[in-house]
Amino acid sequence: MSRLGKQKLHIPEKTEVKKNGVAVSVKGPLGEISREFKDDIAIEISGQEIALTPARRDQATKALWGAYAAHLKNMMKGVHAPYQKKLLLEGVGFKSEVAGKDLVLALGFSHPVKMRIPDGLSVKAEKNVITISGIDKELVGSFAAAVRAKKKPEPYKGKGFRYEGEVIKRKQGKKSA
């Protein structure tokens, strides 16, 4: 039994939640998010509450029950306050800038690394801090992970991308005799 799934979700003020077949769309002050859900979990919208009930009692449906509740909560939260991830870039000569719809990174390779910014996200690059924000939590997190994967922090000097607040465990270098 899912603890999250059992609870009824409260719809905040200035938020519209509509269900159209298998798609659920949430509209709020910052925009609109739509997502398709399987029919294994019945999503019932009544007044200012959303109730989730599983169609079957098997293991896979129980797993989806809590996940769908969390997705709906994140969608309702995102249309009121945008999600944000900050990446810190450390290293001599490493630079980042936003050029139109591209994020251009100089990471010590022979060429600049260009990454297309997905629609629905806003990216700011100030000095060595890249701020990624948007209303879709999954999109913000996946783009931040894709940027970080271009140059993961190395354990000796800590050069590369790291999340704000992330601690890189350092290793000791070679010892001279």
For 147-162, write each residue's pLDDT tens digit. 999 999 999 988 999 9
146 inside domain: yes
Specify whether 10 is located in the same domain as 40. yes
| DSSP helix/strand/coil, 61 | helix
Q: Which of 78, 106, 128 is the last residue of a domain?
A: 78
pLDDT band at 177 (very low <50, low <70, confident <90, very high): low
Domain that holds residue 135: 83-163
Can you tell me the distance from the alpha carbon of 152 to that of 142, in angstroms, rounded to the nearest whole number? Answer: 15
175 inside domain: no
Specify whether 65 is located in the same domain as 104. no
Neighbours of 21 (CB within 10 A): 8
158 inside domain: yes
Asked if 96 and 84 count as a contact pair (C-beta separation under 8 A), the reply is no
Tell me the pLDDT tens digit for each residue of 7-25: 899 999 999 999 998 899 9
Q: What is the CATH number of the domain that holds 74?
A: 3.90.930.12
169 inside domain: no
pTM of the model as a whole: 0.88
Tell me the pLDDT tens digit for each residue of 57-113: 888 888 888 899 999 999 999 999 999 999 999 989 899 999 999 999 999 899 999
Longest dimension (CA), the chain: 74
Specify whether 69 is located in the same domain as 93. no
Specify the pLDDT at position 1: 55
Instruction: Quote the number of domains for the chain.
Output: 2
Asked if 79 and 34 count as a contact pair (C-beta separation under 8 A), the reply is no
32 or 177, which is more confident: 32
